Amino acid sequence: MQRILRKIFKVGKITEPLGKAEQTIDVLGPKLDRVVKKRFQGSLAIRQVDAGSCNACELEIHAMNNPYYDLERFGVHFVASPRHADLLLVTGPVSHNMEIALKMTYDAVPNPKLVIAAGDCAVCGGEFGRTYATVGSVSQVIPVDVLIHGCPPTPTDLIQGILMAVGLPE
C-alpha cells in the first residue's frame, strides 16, 4: 500500500484540466428563449432524422433534454411528425436507403423550412465519405441552412446551431 501511495505522490496529477466552455447554457438559453418566443410564439418544434449515423450525434441530441441543458424550458421540443416541425435536424451521412425518406420528410415540413446538418457525417460525409452505401452529405439531398461541425458536436454546439438557424431572417 505504501509503495502505491509513494508512486502516486511521485507521479503527481496526470489528468488534463477541464476546458472552459465558450458559452454555457446560462448564456445561450435566454438568447434562445427570446428568439423562440418572438419568432415561434414560444414553441419551436424540431423533427430529428437519423440518415445513417453511428448514433453518437443522437446521444448528444438526447443530452440536450437532460436536466442540465433542459431545452424544454426554452420552448424547444422534439416532435414525431415532420408536419408539426419548424426545424429539421439531420444527422449522419445520407445512406441510399434513407435518401427518398429524407426528401419526403423535408417535403412534409411546412414552410418556412429550417434545416440543420449536425455532425461531420451530415456536413461532409465524415469518416464514411461517399461510398457505395452513402449519397454523401445532407446538402447533396436537401437544402441546408446551418452546418454544425464536430464528431459528435457537443450539446452546446447543437444549441448554438439551433440559435443560428432560428435567428436567420425569414
How far apart are the C-alpha atoms of 67 and 83, rounded to whole Å? Answer: 28
User: Residue 20 — very low, low, confident or very high, per pLDDT cuts 50/70/90?
Assistant: low
Residues 24, 30: Cα–Cα separation, whole Å: 11
- What confidence tier does 19 reach under pLDDT thresholds 50, 70, 90? low
User: Residues 105-161: pLDDT tens digits?
Assistant: 999 999 889 999 999 889 888 887 778 888 888 999 999 999 999 888 999 899 999
pLDDT per position as a tens digit, 29-85: 888 888 888 888 888 999 999 988 888 999 999 999 998 888 898 889 999 999 999
127's CB contacts (< 8 A; 6+ apart) are: 120, 121, 151
- CB-based contact 22:157 (threshold 8 Å): no
Residue 15 has a pLDDT of 64
Domain ranges of the chain: 20-167
Rg (CA), the chain: 19
The CATH number that domain 20-167 falls under is 3.40.50.12280
Single pTM value for the model: 0.81
Q: What is the pLDDT of residue 108?
A: 93
pLDDT of residue 26: 77
- Going by the DSSP 8-state scheme, the letter that residue 22 receives in this structure is S
* pLDDT score, position 88: 96
Cell of 161: 446551431
What is the distance between the alpha carbons of residues 16 and 135, in angstroms, rounded to a whole number?
Answer: 39
